[in-house]
Amino acid sequence: MTAQRILVLGTGGTIAGWGSGATGAAYRPGGVALESLVAHLATLGLAAELVPEEIARIGSQDIGWAEWRALHAACTAALADPQIGGILIAHGTDTAEETGFLLDLTLPTTKPIVLVGAMRPADAVGADGMRNFANAVKVACDPQAAGRGVMLVMGDAVLAARDARKAATSSVDAFRSFPRGPLARVTPASIDWFGPPHRMGAAARYPFPPELPRVAILAAGAGMDERPVQALLGIGARGIVLAGMGQGNAPRVVIDALARAAASGVPVVRATRVDEGLVDRNVEVDDDALGLVAARALGPAKARMLLMVLIANGIVDPARVQAAFGAG
Ligand code: GLU
């Protein structure tokens, strides 16, 4: 059997981090060139030919429109290239869930697309990057990985980008998957999928937009007033995601201000600041009367990505926005 050709797109992050020494703390995300990482991977005896392409060498807190557009273009070209079997994206963990979800929304699912990161820099004692990388190569080479949308491989688990969420700042087991659990367990020796592919049809859900509108996340806190809502509208927010309390709640004056924003044509999505939060319609807030949208299982960071894509594609009506977030 010939080795699969896998495109490896580098963006930086801790997986390419360097400078901590074996036991130090401070380091530079993206300090190692992708070529060096891939050259080291080649010595591990993986059954794949890796083709590196560096998009950026940054901490993922600095990732944004330019890198997303470059990643989308590189993935689109690789999906059309019969020589490429799958795509790996080395990424910082801080915003892996945002990049992964954006690509999940805007790319077809015909070949595996796998994000991979690390919690420890490449020169730290017990570095996790090479193991995660080896696992991710295994996933990207597996024909059963297609049709599952964009995935994230960390800590011997394969998570759907739609469900993955960073839940710890320093543990190597930093990601959780909500509302579904992991899609698979993977080690350098084995891979076990827990169900069949779930994406119906291979096409992208949404076209990749020519630009992304300003969508703000409003963090709810006890005792706050409505002025932050007015401030967001004042800086031209085209949509607002509430990181609310509990079931997407906020003080009455804030909800009323958000309802006025919605009435003026600025879509408002109620998410929750709670870790494993499912926000349903019309529980304590009367979404039907106020023109608001419930985020369902998407947390604030991912709700913002989806709302940006929807607005960019002209979808602003609350009923259509709700349909995209899932009914219920
Ligand atoms: N903040 C950096 C980033 O997200 C380092 C964190 C990491 O990669 O784990 O790129």
> Probe ligand 1: pick from 32, 60, 175, max atoms within 8 Å of CB?
60
> What's the pLDDT at 28?
79
Residue 177 is assigned to a structural domain of this protein: yes
Q: What is the pLDDT of residues 11-30, one digit of tens each?
A: 988 777 777 677 777 777 77
The tokens of 145 are what? 């990985």
Are residues 44 and 178 both part of a single domain? yes
Q: What is the tally of structural domains in the chain?
A: 2
CA of residue 293 to ligand 1 center, whole Å: 31
Alpha helices in 197-281, H assignment, sequence order: 227-234, 252-263
User: Can you tell me the distance from the alpha carbon of 151 to that of 242, in angstroms, rounded to the nearest whole number?
Assistant: 26
**What are the E-state strand segments in the chain?**
4-12, 48-58, 86-90, 113-116, 151-154, 157-160, 164-166, 175-177, 184-186, 191-193, 215-219, 239-244, 268-272, 293-294
Dihedral over alpha carbons 85, 132, 56, 89 (to 10 degrees): 30
Q: Is-catalytic flag, 109?
A: no
Same domain, 77 and 174: yes
Question: What pTM, to 2 d.p., does this model score?
Answer: 0.95
Q: Is 43 left (phi over 0), alpha (psi -120 to 50) or beta?
A: alpha
In a domain, 188, yes or no: yes
Of 132, 162, 193, the residue that ends a domain is 193
Residue 97 near residue 165 (C-beta atoms within 8 A): yes
Smallest CA separation from ligand 1 atom 2, residue: 59
Give yes or no: residues 38 and 108 share one domain: yes
Note the pLDDT of residue 65. 95
Q: Which residues of the chain have pLDDT under 50?
A: none
Position 204 in a domain: no
What is the Å distance from ligand 1's center to 252 Cα?
Answer: 37
**107: number of Cβ within 10 Å:** 23
Q: Which residue has the tokens 């190569």?
A: 137
Range of the structural domain that residue 317 is part of: 215-325
Give the Cα separation of 173 and 118 in Å (integer): 10
Which one is catalytic: 2, 11, 14, 110?
14
227, 154: one domain: no
**Which of 89, 93, 154 most suits a substitution to test ligand 1, by most atoms within 8 Å of the C-beta?**
93
Residues with CB under 6 A from ligand 1: 13-14, 29, 59-61, 92-94, 117, 119
298, burial (CB in 10 Å: exposed 0-12, middle 13-18, buried 19+): buried
pLDDT in tens, 139-185: 999 989 999 999 999 999 999 999 999 999 988 899 999 999 999 99
**CATH number of residue 223's parent domain:** 3.40.50.40
For residue 37, the model assigns a pLDDT of: 83
Q: Give residue 20 CA to ligand 1 midpoint distance, Å.
A: 14
Complete DSSP assignment for 295-323 = -BT--HHHHHHHHHHHHHTT--SHHHHHH
Tokens 């927010």 locate to 237
40, 130 Cβ separation under 8 angstroms: yes
For the chain, the straight-line distance linking the first and the last C-alpha, in angstroms and rounded, comes to 48
How many angstroms separate the alpha carbon of residue 313 from the centre of ligand 1? 30
Question: What confidence score (pLDDT) does residue 1 get?
Answer: 52
Same structural domain for residues 16 and 129?
A: yes
The span from the CA of 309 to the CA of 282, in Å, is 25
For residue 277, what pLDDT is reported?
84
Cβ(310)–Cβ(321) under 8 Å?
A: yes
Say yes or no: 35 and 183 in one domain.
yes
CA 121 → CA 27, 53, 62, 137, 319, distances in Å? 7, 20, 18, 19, 45
CA proximity to 129, closest of 116, 114, 118, 115: 118
Last residue of a domain, one of 130, 161, 193: 193
Q: Tell me whether residue 209 is in a domain.
A: no
* Beta bridge partners of residue 175, listed in sequence order: 166
17-56 in b/e form (b: 16+ CB < 10 A) is: bbebeeeeeebbbbbbebeebbeebeeeebebebbbbbbb
For residue 174, the ligand 1 atom closest to its alpha carbon is 9
